[in-house]
Amino acid sequence: MEAAIIANLANGTVIVKNAQKQCCSPLNQIRFKDIVRNGSSKVGIFERAYLSNIYADRLKAAKIKYRVPGAVALSLSLSHEVSFVILEGRLRVFDVKAGLYMCEGLYQHKTNDLTIICHQENILNRLKQILLEDR
């Protein structure tokens, strides 16, 4: 992959990544600025949490806050702004290829049914401990 573009039509922005940089811009002005990691975010994204049989309950018990926006590629493109992104279930390559490209350089854990992406290694390790405690 050489480049990825993901538009957020809800807030009118576009996120672009190539080998050199990742940046965003309002759709109506096209003034790009570099994306900076938000190391202080306390909220994550958990896509498909409404289908979760195990992981949502474990996050709730651990009092971990998350949102379920419902747009996998967009959620992945926001991984630099939130504490974590969790995807449960099998991922269809054509649904997530651009979003996963935007997650290059972040800490990732992938199994057949669970993907965790964080920009802080300690958060990734904590989530793995909570979610995969008996696996």
| CATH number of the domain enclosing 77 | 3.40.190.80
Low-confidence ranges of the chain (pLDDT < 50): none
Indicate whether 16 belongs to any domain: no
pLDDT given for residue 107 in this prediction: 96
Per-residue pLDDT of 58-80, as tens digits, reads: 999 999 999 998 888 889 988 98
Structural domain total, the chain: 1
Indicate whether 52 belongs to any domain: yes
pLDDT given for residue 125 in this prediction: 96
Give the whole-angstrom CA distance, residue 14 versus residue 8.
6
Q: What global pTM score does this model have? A: 0.86
Given a contact cutoff of 8 angstroms between Cβ atoms, the answer to whether 115 and 90 are in contact is no
Give the whole-angstrom CA distance, residue 53 versus residue 129.
17
pLDDT given for residue 38 in this prediction: 82
Burial of 109 per CB tally in 10 Å (0-12, 13-18, 19+): middle
Give the pair of three-digit tokens for residue 101: 């490209």
Given a contact cutoff of 8 angstroms between Cβ atoms, the answer to whether 106 and 117 are in contact is yes
Give the whole-angstrom CA distance, residue 90 versus residue 61.
24
Structural domain span for residue 97: 36-131
Indicate whether 99 belongs to any domain: yes
Indicate whether 91 belongs to any domain: yes
pLDDT given for residue 135 in this prediction: 66
Exposure letters 122-134 (e unless 16+ CB within 10 A, then b)? ebbeebbeebeee
